Amino acid sequence: MIMTKEMQFKMIAAQYCKVKPEEMENSMRFREDLGFSSLDFMAFLGELEDTFDVELEEEDALQVLTVGEALELMERLQQEA
């Protein structure tokens, strides 16, 4: 089975919260819905950078509130790379 980027992304996110990847919705917010702390979020971003070989600007990352917004940002960064 080929894992989609979205599922790979959600599996990484699931390591930091109690929501299973398959139950994660793009409208879910990292802090409010998934319970990420600031430290969790920063560690998560670092893992995304390593996994997807992108470089996140802190300014962009701080504007990301939902799973869907993060996925869009990752997609955009990968296209620019």
Q: What is the CATH number of the domain that holds 65?
A: 1.10.1200.10
Provide the residue range defining the domain that includes 41.
Answer: 5-21+28-80
CA-to-CA separations, 47 to 1, 9, 16, in angstroms, rounded: 22, 10, 11
pLDDT digits (tens, 9 = 90+) for 6-65: 999 999 999 999 999 999 999 999 999 999 999 999 999 999 999 999 999 989 988 999
Instruction: Decide: 12 and 51 in contact? Cβ < 8 Å.
Output: yes
Instruction: Decide: 6 and 25 in contact? Cβ < 8 Å.
Output: no
List the beta bridge partners of residue 29: 66
Number of domains in the chain: 1
pTM of the predicted structure, to 2 decimals: 0.89
* DSSP state, residue 29: B
